[in-house]
């Protein structure tokens, strides 16, 4: 069980959901007295190395966590190490060692980057510069360009494919919501409503790591609750109250409660 200090409340409006979830995962390991497997956190959150590096740097800048090292680390034998350096929760003052579950080339380069930039050189102070770089430049700080073999043309193709995929998923999500609302209210939605929901759906897929099936299940979860029978009308409502579905719907509660806390 995670034990949280009330001081974390002051950061709720300063951090994104992804950053707060990252902190909660770190806090869980510290509460249990376990080492913190950064590669496992990255995998669970479905983040790239760059995304997790930026998330950790944001938490450092906010004063939530801090990396500590007792001295120089010999990374030539890193594949034999089960712990690297410490991470401190600045809110609870708990500390724990950072480790890796899979010591492959990519994960080790990730640890080396954190050590060189967040411990030795304190480059997390310049995250705006880091964030302004394109992905090849940032990867180049971890792995050389020759090793990565990523071309500008391939990045454009990949970005185009990603946008097309998001558009397709957004249309399917809006269709699903429209179908459920039609069954609830026995009325079709307007064209303006659909355009607004498509815009919102695209943002949901860019801002969150949940799949299309998860969002559809969330819609089903809310439409089955008596409280929402005459209130649900948009994806934004689903997003704002998603914590209910995550805590109850994904855990397959035997019966959804109608006594809910609504975010207005």
Q: What is the pLDDT of residues 108-147, one digit of tens each?
A: 887 888 888 777 766 555 444 444 444 444 444 443 444 3
Output phi, psi for 201, to 5 deg.
-65, -40
pLDDT band at 12, cuts 50/70/90? low
Output phi, psi for 95, to 5 deg.
-130, 150
pLDDT band at 250, cuts 50/70/90? low
Residue 23: half-sphere exposure toward Cβ, Cα within 13 Å: 28
What pLDDT shows up at residue 175?
A: 92
DSSP type of residue 82: S
Q: Contact at 8 Å (CB) between 126 and 89?
A: no
Q: Is the pLDDT of residue 43 over 70?
A: yes
pLDDT over 90, % of the chain:
12
pLDDT in tens, 193-247: 889 999 999 998 888 878 888 899 999 988 888 888 788 889 999 999 888 888 7
Average pLDDT over residues 171-184: 89
Average pLDDT over residues 141-169: 56
Domain ranges of the chain: 6-148, 152-249
Cα 181 to Cα 232: distance, rounded to the nearest angstrom: 8
Q: Contact at 8 Å (CB) between 65 and 96?
A: no
Average pLDDT over residues 83-95: 89
Q: Is 206 exposed, middle or buried (0-12, 13-18, 19+ CB in 10 A)?
A: exposed
Q: Contact at 8 Å (CB) between 118 and 60?
A: yes
Q: Is 150 exposed, middle or buried (0-12, 13-18, 19+ CB in 10 A)?
A: middle
- Identify which of 130, 114, 107, 112 has the alpha carbon closest to the alpha carbon of residue 76: 112
Using the CB atoms, write b or e for 218-238: b if 16+ within 10 Å: bbebbbebeebeeebeebebb
CB atoms within 10 A of CB 82: 9
pLDDT band at 95, cuts 50/70/90? very high
What rounded mean pLDDT belongs to the chain?
Answer: 76
């Amino acid at each position: 069980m995670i034990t949280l200090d009330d001081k974390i409340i002051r950061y709720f409006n300063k951090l994104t959901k992804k950053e707060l979830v990252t902190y909660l995962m770190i806090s869980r390991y510290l509460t249990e007295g376990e080492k913190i497997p950064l590669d496992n956190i990255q995998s669970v959150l479905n983040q790239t190395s760059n995304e997790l590096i930026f998330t950790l740097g944001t938490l450092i800048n906010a004063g939530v966590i801090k990396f500590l090292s007792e001295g120089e680390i010999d990374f030539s034998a890193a594949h034999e190490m089960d712990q690297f350096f410490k991470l401190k929760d600045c809110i609870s003052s708990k500390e724990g060692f950072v480790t890796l579950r899979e010591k492959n080339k990519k994960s080790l380069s990730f640890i080396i980057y954190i050590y060189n930039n967040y411990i030795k050189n304190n480059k997390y102070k310049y995250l705006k510069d880091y964030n302004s770089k394109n992905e090849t430049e940032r990867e180049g700080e971890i792995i050389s360009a020759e090793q990565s073999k990523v071309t500008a043309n391939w990045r454009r193709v990949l970005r185009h494919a990603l946008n097309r995929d998001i558009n397709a998923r957004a249309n399917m999500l809006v269709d699903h919501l429209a179908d459920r609302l039609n069954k609830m209210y026995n009325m079709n939605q307007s064209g303006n409503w659909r355009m607004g929901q498509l815009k919102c759906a695209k943002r949901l897929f860019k801002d969150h790591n949940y799949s299309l099936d998860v969002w559809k299940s969330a819609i089903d979860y809310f439409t089955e609750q008596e409280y929402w029978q005459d209130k649900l009308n948009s994806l934004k409502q689903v997003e704002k109250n998603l914590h209910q579905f995550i805590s109850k719907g994904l855990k397959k509660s035997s019966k959804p409660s109608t006594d809910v806390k609504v975010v207005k």
